[in-house]
Amino acid sequence: MTKNSVRRTLLAAAFFCLLWGNAALPGESGVDTSVWTWDVLVVPPDDGWDKEAGVSIKNMLEWRRLDVSERGDGIHGHDVDFILLSPLTEDSAESYTFPITPRTVAIMSFASTHVDKLLVDRAAESGVPLLLAGGEDVFFFKHDRIMPFVFALDLFRDYRCRAFADYARLTISRNSRLGIMGTRFTLNEEREAKICFDIFADEGFMPMPFWLDASVSDSFSLVEQEIKDGIDGVLISYVGGMASKEIWHGITAGYKSPYRLWYGGAPDKSFLSFNGMLFADQNMYLEERGEFEPLKRELWATRVIAVSDKVAAGRANALAFWLFEALSALPRENDLKNKEALFTSLGNVRGIPFGNQTLNIDGETHRPAFRQVYILQVRDRSFFVLDTLTVHGLKYYDY
CATH code, domain carrying 338: 3.40.50.2300
Local confidence band at 13 (pLDDT 50, 70, 90 cut-offs): very low
**pLDDT value of position 194:** 97
Please tell me whether residue 70 adopts helix, strand or coil conformation: coil
Q: Evaluate if residue 99 carries a pLDDT over 90.
A: yes
Do 83 and 186 fall into the same domain?
Answer: no
Averaged over 33-37, what is the pLDDT? Answer: 71
Local confidence band at 393 (pLDDT 50, 70, 90 cut-offs): very high
Do 179 and 278 fall into the same domain?
Answer: yes
Q: Render pLDDT for 308-362 as a digit per residue (tens, 0 to 9).
A: 999 999 999 999 999 999 999 998 877 677 789 999 999 999 999 999 999 999 9
- Can you list the alpha helix ranges (DSSP code H) found in the chain? 3-24, 52-69, 90-94, 113-126, 159-171, 189-202, 220-230, 241-251, 286-289, 293-303, 310-329, 339-346
**pLDDT value of position 31:** 47
Q: Render pLDDT for 370-386 as a digit per residue (tens, 0 to 9).
A: 999 999 999 999 999 99
Do 188 and 278 fall into the same domain?
Answer: yes
Q: How many CA atoms lie within 13 A of 228 on its CB side?
A: 14
Do 326 and 379 fall into the same domain?
Answer: no
Do 166 and 234 fall into the same domain?
Answer: yes
**pLDDT value of position 29:** 41
User: For residues 147 and 256, which has the higher predicted lDDT (pLDDT)?
Assistant: 147
In a domain, 308, yes or no: yes
Local confidence band at 5 (pLDDT 50, 70, 90 cut-offs): very low
| Average pLDDT of the residues of the chain | 89
In a domain, 362, yes or no: yes
- What DSSP state is assigned to residue 380? T
Q: Evaluate if residue 20 carries a pLDDT over 60.
A: no
**Beta-bridge partners for 149:** none
**pLDDT value of position 11:** 38
In a domain, 20, yes or no: no
**pLDDT value of position 361:** 98
Q: Evaluate if residue 33 carries a pLDDT over 90.
A: no
User: For residues 217 and 250, which has the higher predicted lDDT (pLDDT)?
Assistant: 250
Averaged over 159-172, what is the pLDDT? Answer: 98
Instruction: Kindly give the pairing relationship between strand 104-109 and strand 37-43.
Output: parallel
Which among 158, 140, 133 is positioned nearest to 264, based on CA atoms?
A: 158
Question: Is the CB of residue 326 less than 8 Å from the CB of residue 342?
Answer: yes
Averaged over 79-88, what is the pLDDT? Answer: 98
**pLDDT value of position 223:** 84
Do 243 and 180 fall into the same domain?
Answer: yes
Instruction: Kindly give the pairing relationship between strand 370-379 and strand 278-281.
Output: antiparallel
User: Is the dihedral angle over the CA atoms 89, 92, 97, 99 positive or is it negative?
Assistant: negative
pTM, two decimals, is 0.89
Do 380 and 237 fall into the same domain?
Answer: yes
Local confidence band at 35 (pLDDT 50, 70, 90 cut-offs): low
Q: Evaluate if residue 132 carries a pLDDT over 80.
A: yes
Do 124 and 164 fall into the same domain?
Answer: no
**pLDDT value of position 221:** 75
| Parent domain of 47 | 35-134+290-368
For 2, other C-beta atoms within 10 Å of its C-beta total: 7
Total domains in the fold of the chain: 2
Q: What is the DSSP string of 152-182?
A: ESSPPTTHHHHHHHHHHHHHS-TTS--EEEE
